[in-house]
Homo-oligomer: A and B are copies of this chain.
Amino acid sequence: MTDRREFRDLASPAEARAVIDGLDIAAGTERVPLADARGRVLAERVDATIDVPGFDRASMDGYAVRAADTFGADEADPVTLDVVGTVHAGENPDVDVAEGTAVEISTGAVMPPDADAVVMVERTTERDGDVAIRTGVAPGDNVMLSGTDIAAGARALGPGTRLTPREIGLLSALGVDAVPVRSRPVVGIISTGDELVRPGGDLDSAAGQIYDVNSYTLASSIEEAGGAPKLYPHVGDDFDEMERQLQQAAEECDLVLSSGSTSASAVDVIYRVIENRGELLLHGVAVKPGKPMLVGEFEDAAYVGLPGYPVSALTIFRTFVAPAIREAAGYEQPRTEVVTGQMAVRERYDEGRRRLMPVGLVEDGQGRMRVYPVDKGSGATTSLVEADGFVEVPADTISLDAGETVDVQLFSPEVRPPTLLCVGEDDPLFSRILDRLDRPRYLPVGTTEGRRRLDAGVPDVAVVAGPTDSDYPVLGEWEREWGLVVPAADNRIDGLAALVDGDYRFVNRGRDSGLRRSFDDALAALADERGETRRALGDAIDGYGLTTKAHESPARKVAAGAADAGLGLRTTADKLGLGFVSLGTQAVRVLANPERVEKAGVEQLERALDDLASLVDAEAGFSLNGR
């Protein structure tokens, strides 16, 4: 089997598509109540079995007459008819319209016998049982004849019609209360990996457990494509368990997906099961991230094995599997929504494989689209929400230059670029401001990296904290109190000197963080005072080199009992019920990309920043500048 595991013969993307399109995953047909039919696809033609309307129907309020009786009538010379009765909608008319008579009639009512037209009420005057008709009408005027809308036997809707409210309206008119529709193909999902835990379950991180991302991501993607997802319990690399599960899924589903079965041993097991009971049709596609994709058939079900990393699994699912599910469900393929934009940065490639590169989008001030790669490692789940689509990069591309035009295939036609792209320091107050905006995107890359990206012209705004100077327009500015987060009621550490001199476990922030820069400045000041170097003081702190990426992480280590002090904010200490040793305040500034200050999203942010005073009051340890 070794040759297979080496993926010697990777299929081309077109071959992979052809193989998957050739799989039989169509389900049968079923009848559903009309009330549940929205979005379903008609399995058969529906012909009208009744006439609509089912009777000659008045289409105006007025008087049912014999048209011949009104000939020559006009405003100056009305014709007077004897009113012999009334008929409302939903009534069986109990009177004929003899020559010289009229019947008062409501819109929607049945035309009484021998009447052939309706005079609208506005052109009549009734008095003492007579009606003066002030206009002539022709036979058929203001009457909808039986079957004119649609007649029994006529074609109403063709097979394959997707039922929207409009088709549901027509079916209602025909009295249809249940319709034959295509069944949704049942798609089983088996996530493999001993380390997976369902969301909501308890996680043992020390044992390397992680929450299962692919099961729900794929389930909702399958629904979106018109399939009915069915989740199976996770399986590990145990052959018997895997075989039992695959077999059960194959019996119950039209298509079985597995994800994460990319370890050599799992691949071995899946190979054996598929080849024992069916046929493996394809192993590996020459596109990054499709290398480990498997396609086969067994026990009357189709099978596709997806990569384990969430972004990879979703990209491969959308590219190769979703079209086949849509086809089986009778859904139309969505218009491939392609957005053209310019690369915001340069991107280099080192491997000769076609690549589906996840990218984010941001509109510049002139409404042009700028495109930046989102590559946090395939294992990152945050890439799922930070990317808007992907760029297909041919195998022989060495680099894409900044400014180069690329086509971005959106993850779905509904995807819209964020209204505002913010990068920089994580700040609880700014996070509250974001809560008030429509569809902002925030990348917490820290002050230094945020500033770097702003210099490159990618984001709309950067949030920077700590000592900084810049020529960028400042949209907003506030102060936050920073220092050491310590256990509640633990008074051992009373300042920076105590941390340096004592024997405490400390947790620091990374160099990109503005907090870290203020901390290092304070350390340098203390070193100056003592005639030592900052480095020496840093070395004296146990954990100075132990950095964390996110702003609450040091405090949380303290809360967990894994550290005696952590670099952080007063507001975080308050939130987590911990003690706090203040070391000062630092400025937080929202810097704008000067070319984007007139962009709608930036203007919305500016309006939200007008309300800074009330936000500052609500958050512990924050103040406006100069107060």
By a beta-carbon cutoff of 8 Å, the part of chain A in contact with chain B is 34-35, 37-38, 45, 50-55, 57, 59, 61, 87-92, 106-110, 144-155, 157-161, 164-178, 193-201, 203-221, 223-224, 231, 236, 262-264, 308, 310, 314, 332, 376-377, 379-382, 384-385, 411-414, 416, 426, 431, 434-435, 437-440, 442, 444, 548-553, 555-556, 572
On whether the beta carbons of A553 and B147 are closer than 8 Å, the reply is yes
On whether the beta carbons of B169 and A310 are closer than 8 Å, the reply is yes
On whether the beta carbons of B149 and A177 are closer than 8 Å, the reply is no
7 closest A-B pairs by beta carbon, nearest first, are A153-B552, A151-B550, A177-B200, A54-B205, A90-B195, A90-B194, A169-B217
Among the interface residues A172, A314, A385, which one has the most CB atoms of the partner chain B within 10 A? A172
Q: In the assembled complex, how far is the CB of residue A459 from the closest CB belonging to chain B, in whole angstroms?
A: 16
**Contact with A175, one of B195, B199, B308 (Cβ below 8 angstroms):** B199
CA distance A20 to B141 in the complex (A): 37
On whether the beta carbons of B54 and A166 are closer than 8 Å, the reply is no
On whether the beta carbons of B379 and A411 are closer than 8 Å, the reply is no
On whether the beta carbons of B263 and A61 are closer than 8 Å, the reply is yes
CB-CB < 8 A to A434: which residues of B?
155, 158
Q: In the assembled complex, how far is the CB of residue A410 from the closest CB belonging to chain B, in whole angstroms?
A: 12
Residue ID in chain B nearest A207 by CB atoms: B92
CB-CB < 8 A to A110: which residues of B?
206-208
Q: In the assembled complex, how far is the CB of residue A369 from the closest CB belonging to chain B, in whole angstroms?
A: 15
Residue ID in chain B nearest A121 by CB atoms: B264
**Contact with A381, one of B147, B155, B169, B178 (Cβ below 8 angstroms):** B169
On whether the beta carbons of B151 and A55 are closer than 8 Å, the reply is no
Assuming A155-B444, A435-B45, is B88 touching A385 (CB within 8 A)? no
On whether the beta carbons of B61 and A550 are closer than 8 Å, the reply is no
CB-CB < 8 A to A196: which residues of B?
90
On whether the beta carbons of A263 and B381 are closer than 8 Å, the reply is no
On whether the beta carbons of A159 and B220 are closer than 8 Å, the reply is no
Q: Can you list 24 residue pairs at the A/B interface with Cβ under 8 Å? A: A53-B210, A55-B206, A55-B208, A57-B208, A89-B263, A90-B207, A92-B208, A106-B263, A147-B548, A149-B376, A150-B550, A151-B552, A152-B550, A152-B552, A154-B551, A165-B220, A165-B224, A166-B217, A169-B381, A172-B211, A172-B217, A173-B310, A174-B199, A177-B199
On whether the beta carbons of B195 and A381 are closer than 8 Å, the reply is no
CB-CB < 8 A to A194: which residues of B?
88-91
Residue ID in chain B nearest A383 by CB atoms: B149
CA distance A550 to B173 in the complex (A): 17
**Contact with A155, one of B38, B147, B431 (Cβ below 8 angstroms):** B431
CA distance A325 to B312 in the complex (A): 36
Residue ID in chain B nearest A412 by CB atoms: B164
CB-CB < 8 A to A382: which residues of B?
149-150, 170
On whether the beta carbons of A172 and B213 are closer than 8 Å, the reply is yes
On whether the beta carbons of B556 and A153 are closer than 8 Å, the reply is yes
Q: In the assembled complex, how far is the CB of residue A275 from the closest CB belonging to chain B, in whole angstroms?
A: 23
CA distance A125 to B169 in the complex (A): 69
Q: In the assembled complex, how far is the CB of residue A444 from the closest CB belonging to chain B, in whole angstroms?
A: 6
On whether the beta carbons of B208 and A90 are closer than 8 Å, the reply is yes
A contacts with B: majority SS: loop
Residue ID in chain B nearest A59 by CB atoms: B379
- Sample of 18 further A-B pairs with CB below 8 A, known A38-B223, A149-B379: A34-B200, A53-B205, A57-B379, A87-B208, A89-B193, A149-B380, A151-B550, A153-B551, A155-B434, A169-B213, A170-B385, A172-B211, A172-B213, A173-B211, A174-B211, A175-B197, A332-B416, A413-B413
CA distance A38 to B218 in the complex (A): 11
CB-CB < 8 A to A205: which residues of B?
50-51, 53-55, 146
Assuming A208-B92, A384-B166, is B553 touching A151 (CB within 8 A)? yes
Among the interface residues A45, A145, A169, A439, which one has the most CB atoms of the partner chain B within 10 A? A169
Q: In the assembled complex, how far is the CB of residue A144 from the closest CB belonging to chain B, in whole angstroms?
A: 6
CA distance A215 to B264 in the complex (A): 57
CA distance A204 to B89 in the complex (A): 12
Q: In the assembled complex, how far is the CB of residue A288 from the closest CB belonging to chain B, in whole angstroms?
A: 15
Q: In the assembled complex, how far is the CB of residue A405 from the closest CB belonging to chain B, in whole angstroms?
A: 23
CB-CB < 8 A to A211: which residues of B?
52, 172-175
Assuming A177-B199, A553-B151, is B210 touching A38 (CB within 8 A)? no
Q: In the assembled complex, how far is the CB of residue A544 from the closest CB belonging to chain B, in whole angstroms?
A: 16
Among the interface residues A35, A55, A166, A332, which one has the most CB atoms of the partner chain B within 10 A? A166
On whether the beta carbons of A207 and B442 are closer than 8 Å, the reply is no
**Contact with A144, one of B148, B199, B379, B431 (Cβ below 8 angstroms):** B379
CA distance A229 to B284 in the complex (A): 47
On whether the beta carbons of B384 and A195 are closer than 8 Å, the reply is no
CA distance A87 to B206 in the complex (A): 12
Q: In the assembled complex, how far is the CB of residue A313 from the closest CB belonging to chain B, in whole angstroms?
A: 9
CA distance A439 to B42 in the complex (A): 12
CA distance A49 to B308 in the complex (A): 23
On whether the beta carbons of A166 and B199 are closer than 8 Å, the reply is no
On whether the beta carbons of B213 and A550 are closer than 8 Å, the reply is no
CA distance A115 to B605 in the complex (A): 45
CB-CB < 8 A to A220: which residues of B?
37-38, 164-165, 168
